Amino acid sequence: MAQYTKGIAGIWTDEHLILKAARKTREAGFTKFEAISAYPVHGMEEACGIKRSWIPYVTFVSGFVGMILGLLLTWWTSAVDWAVNVGGKPFFSLPAFIPIIFELTILFAALCSVAALFYACKIPRIDPPNIDPDLSCHKFAIFIPFNDVGYDESKIEKMFKEMGATEVKKTEY
Amino acid sequence: MGEHNHVNLHVSKFEAPAKLKTLSFALIAIGLLTFVVGLMKNQERLWTSYLVAFFFFSAMGVSGLFWIALNNVSKAGWSVSIRRYAEATTAFIPGILVGGLILLVGFKHLYPWANSETVANNAVIAAKTGYLNTGFFVVRLFIFAVGCMLFKYVMVGNSLKQDQTGDANLTHKNVSPAVGFLVFFALAFSFFSVDLLMSLLPTWYSTIFGIYTFSGMFQAGMAFLAIVVVLMKRHGYVKGYVTEEHQHDVVKYLKGFSIFWAYIAFSQFMLIWYANLPEETEYYIMRAQGGWMGVSMALLIFRFVVPFLALLPRGAKRNDNHVLLVSALVLVMQYVDIYWMVYPNFFDGHVTFGFWEIGIFAGFAGVFLLTIMSFWSKHSLVPLKDPRLHEAVNHHVAY
């Protein structure tokens, strides 16, 4: 999510229209624009040209790290530091360790994914910029920051209006 | 809601490729030949290989029905356009009854509890005869086969009737039988597995045996469905209705149930290994000796580790050849899994595989192929009048 700075926002009340508008905005050559909705709109990633998230890679790597740590933990505690004979089984009994390794894999993968998500979205953010309170309810917006390629307020305003925007707002943050 | 999906919707009539038909008949001929020769020469090998193949294809047949019931209950829309692919496997379900009746001919060769001498010499088995006796076994087998046929008749029947009448209510009418089927299936399939596979070693028991066979059944069913989706797409029978989005989700099912299978298999193994009770460990000791240890490890690696890693990336789920390869591997491992449940009971310590197993499997495969191809040639490949079809056409897997 981009930082809201100076820019221009068009506001729509129809999901289908903003999907088309997002596509057209991308086709018009803007690259730093942002589509804002209260809920996920199907097909929006594609319409905005958003690439795949890098978070799954964090999940995979952290899950792998969790697995190795789980293995080391169970091995070190059960077979090295405090070896206890359980039912005559070997100290290093992999089947008994699998649940712990599994849980640590999941724990690491899940927590690191959430942490990565927080980092990627820069949350929690105190006092986030607010274009229109209704964007958390029934309105949708496309926001183009002033530093985007080909930024021209009057042209963008005209483009937004043509695409069916009910309102066009200039923002300053 | 990608706009690109609204173009080029097309369904052709399915015509069974002549080569595939010839192949099916050839396979059936091989199967029959093996069966007849086996009856005369080698009854034991014949019936063990028959049991494995029979269970494999029974599971394939009901996997489609289970998947349809699941989608009916959850009122899924995305899967409507590939429903006919799953419904086709249910065309094999009457084969469970026929195959079961044939199994009854040889079941004295398979099940120790059916042999009165063994029962008389073994108090543990004798105590179980209230459940493990021929009459009750036949009744249970019959209930499973006929029950599946009835549910198939209702659910697939309604779906096919909708093609003619276009009555949207038929979709809603299919919800209650689907709920009923899921309950029936949970019990009946467990009994079916316990009877056919677990009772081969009547002194042994595992309380999650039914779930274990279920997980394998469903994983293999999804592998088969993925293969059908890819091949139908490749040969252009259906355009627009079935896309790589559907393929992606079917492969997600496949991957999810690969994990589920591993989870159940490990749950069964770990508890028995941990508790270390003689009457329970027997089963795994048999499968850890001689060549069987290799088969056990192969199950772990090729039924879970390889499919799990191979299907992890998004691109892999959308790559046709990759999906075909992994799905084929899963189907092979489903056979190996059932084989692994049956054969160590008869062949202690040495892995035995050969002409008998291949021949009988070929026979079943031929019948299975013929039934699904005749189902597709009789009915539309896409349920065009289903009220949720638009959801399936516009299906889009977000990333």
Cis peptide leading into residue B94 (ω within 30°):
no
| Domain membership flag for residue B399 | no
* Same domain? B68 vs B150: yes
ipTM of the complex: 0.82
**pLDDT at position A4:** 53
Question: Nearest residue on chain A to B274, judged by CA atoms?
Answer: A96
Q: Would you call A98 and B273 a contact, using CB atoms and an 8 Å cutoff?
A: no
Return the axis-axis angle of helices B355-378 and B83-90, rounded to nearest 10°: 130
Helices (H), B4-93: 18-41, 43-73, 83-90
Which DSSP helix (H) or strand (E) runs through A130? none
Confidence at residue A173, expressed as pLDDT on a 0 to 100 scale: 60
- In DSSP terms, A169 is beta-bridged to A9
Residue A48 forms contact with B (CB below 8 Å): no
Q: What is the DSSP letter of B203?
A: T
Domain identity same for B228 and B272: yes
Decide if B396 and A96 are in contact by the 8 Å CB cutoff: no
**B239 shares its domain with B349:** yes
Residue B178 falls inside a structural domain: yes
Residue B2 is assigned to a structural domain of this protein: no
Indicate if B16 and B109 belong to the same structural domain: yes
Mean pLDDT of A68-72: 97
> Per-residue pLDDT averaged across A114-126, rounded?
88
Residues B113 and B145 both lie in one domain: yes
Letter for the amino acid at B240? G
Same domain, B237 and B334: yes
Least CB–CB distance from B270: residue in A53, A87, A95: A95
Cβ distance B71 to B239 under 8 Å? no
Set of chain A residues whose Cβ sits within 8 Å of the Cβ of B269? 95
* Mutation to test the B interface, candidates A16, A39, A42, most B Cβ within 10 Å: A42
Can you give the pLDDT at residue A50?
A: 85
Q: Which domains does chain A have, with CATH numbers?
A: 7-50+127-171 (3.30.70), 55-121 (no CATH)
Q: Which domain holds residue B162?
A: 12-203+357-387
By the 10 Å C-beta count (0-12 exposed, 13-18 middle, 19+ buried), B396 is classed as: middle
> Would you say B162 and B304 are in contact if contact means Cβ atoms under 8 Å apart?
no
Number of domains in chain B: 2
Contacts with B, A 87-116, CB within 8 Å: 87, 95-96, 98-99
The bridge status of strand A167-171 relative to strand A7-12 is antiparallel
Residues of A in Cβ contact (< 8 Å) with B1: 16, 19, 42-43
Identify which has the larger pLDDT, A126 or B388. Answer: B388
Nearest-by-CA chain B residue for A93: B274
Question: Residues of B at the A interface (Cβ-Cβ below 8 Å)?
Answer: 1-3, 266, 269-270, 273-274, 276, 312, 314, 396, 398-399
What six digits make up the tokens of B377?
């040639």
B243 with B168, same domain?
A: no
**Consecutive sets of 10 residues in chain B, 399 residues long: mean pLDDT of each?**
58 88 96 94 92 96 96 94 94 96 92 89 90 94 96 95 92 94 96 95 93 97 96 89 93 96 96 92 92 94 96 93 97 97 90 92 96 94 92 84
**Does the CB of A54 have a partner CB in chain B at under 8 Å?**
no
Cβ–Cβ below 8 Å for A40 and B266: no
What's the pLDDT tens digit per position in A15-62?
888 888 899 888 888 888 888 888 888 888 888 888 888 999 999 999
**DSSP helix/strand/coil, A28:** coil
Neighbours of A9 (CB within 10 A): 24
In a domain, B394, yes or no: no
Count the Cβ atoms, other than its own, within 10 Å of residue B4. Answer: 10
Question: Nearest CA of chain B to the CA of A6: how many Å?
Answer: 30
Are the beta carbons of A45 and B270 separated by less than 8 Å?
A: no
- Does residue B4 belong to any structural domain of this protein? no
Residue-level pLDDT at B87 = 95
- Look at B266 and A19 and tell me if their CB atoms are within 8 Å: no
| B348 plus B361 within the same structural domain | no
DSSP code for B302: I
Task: Write down the pLDDT at residue A172.
Answer: 72
Residue A101, classified by CB atoms within 10 Å of its CB into exposed (0-12), middle (13-18) or buried (19+), is buried
B298 and B211 co-located in one domain: yes
Distances (CA, A) of A31 to A22, A25, A150, B332, B336: 11, 9, 10, 48, 53
Closest B-chain CA to A50: B399
A87 contacts B276? CB cut-off 8 A: yes
Looking at the fold, whether B47 and B152 belong to one and the same domain comes out as: yes
Shortest Cα–Cα distance, A37 to chain B (Å): 16
The per-residue pLDDT for B395 is 87
> Are A42 and B1 a contacting pair at CB < 8 A?
yes
Q: Is the pLDDT of residue A2 over 60?
A: no
Instruction: State whether B18 and B162 are in the same domain.
Output: yes
> Is there a contact between A98 and B399 if contact means CB atoms under 8 Å apart?
no
* CB contacts < 8 A (A, B): 29
Decide if B250 is inside a domain.
yes
Please tell me the pTM assigned to this model: 0.90
Claim to verify: residue B367 and residue B343 sit in the same structural domain: no
A45 in reach of chain B (CB within 8 A): yes
